[in-house]
Amino acid sequence: MKKLFLLAAFSVLFISTSIIAQQKRVITLNEAIELALENNYQLKQAENNLDLAEYRITSEKADFLPGISSSAGYSTQTGQQFVQETLSFTDITSSGGNARLSASLPIFNGFNNILTLRSSEANKNSSEENLKRAKENIIFETATRFLTVLLNKQQLEDAKESLETSKKLLEQTKAQVEVGSRPNVDLYNQEAAVAQDELTITQRDNALKLSRLQLVRSLQIDPLVEYEFAVPDFDPESAKNSTLVGKNVNSLVEEALINRSDVRSTEFNIESLRYQLQIAKSSLFPTLSASASISSSYSDQARDPRTGGTASFNDQFFDQRVNKSFGLSLNLPIFNNWNRMTQIQSAQVSLKNAELGLQNTQLQVIQEITQALNDYSSYSAQLVAAEKSLVASEKAFETQQERYNVGASTLIELSQAQTQYFNAQSSRTSALYNLIFQEKLLDYYVGKLSGSDIGFN
Q: Are 166 and 194 in contact (CB under 8 A)?
A: yes
Predicted local distance difference test score (pLDDT) of residue 238: 63
For 111-120, 270-279, 297-306, 388-397, which range has the lowest pLDDT when averaged over its residues?
297-306
> What whole-number distance in Å separates Cα of residue 452 and Cα of residue 136?
9
Beta bridge partners of 72: 99
Q: Are 273 and 350 in contact (CB under 8 A)?
A: yes
Predicted local distance difference test score (pLDDT) of residue 413: 86
201 exposure class (CB count in 10 Å sphere: 0-12, 13-18, 19+): middle
Question: DSSP letters of 14-74?
Answer: HHHHHHHHHPPEEE-HHHHHHHHHHH-HHHHHHHHHHHHHHHHHHHHHHTTSPEEEEEEEE
Question: DSSP letters of 124-145?
Answer: HHHHHHHHHHHHHHHHHHHHHH
**Residues near 142 by Cβ (< 8 Å), separated by ≥ 6?**
32, 33, 36, 215, 218, 219
Mean pLDDT of 372-387: 88
Mean pLDDT of 246-259: 85
Residue-wise pLDDT for 51-90, tens only, equals: 999 999 999 888 888 989 999 998 888 877 666 666 667 7
User: What angle, rounded to 10 degrees, do the helices at 339-405 and 249-259 form?
Assistant: 130
> What whole-number distance in Å separates Cα of residue 246 and Cα of residue 244?
6
Predicted local distance difference test score (pLDDT) of residue 2: 45
CA distances to 69, 83, 103, 116, 171 from 66, rounded to whole Å, are 10, 43, 6, 17, 94
| Strand, helix or coil for residue 175 | helix
Q: What's the full length of the chain, in residues? A: 457
Q: What number of other Cβ atoms are within 10 A of residue 9's Cβ?
A: 10
Residue-wise pLDDT for 112-167, tens only, equals: 899 999 999 999 999 999 999 999 889 889 989 998 999 999 899 999 998 998 89
**What domains are there in the chain, each with its CATH number?**
24-74+109-285+333-446 (1.20.1600.10)
| Strand, helix or coil for residue 85 | coil
In sequence order, what E strands does 159-312 have? 227-229, 287-299
| Strand, helix or coil for residue 101 | strand
CA quadruple 313, 316, 317, 318: dihedral positive or negative?
A: positive
Residue-wise pLDDT for 401-452, tens only, equals: 888 888 778 888 888 888 898 889 888 888 888 888 888 888 888 888 766 5
Predicted local distance difference test score (pLDDT) of residue 347: 93
Q: How remote is the C-alpha of 431 from its chain's centroid?
A: 29
Looking at every residue in the chain, the average pLDDT score rounds to 85
pLDDT of residue 234 exceeding 80? no
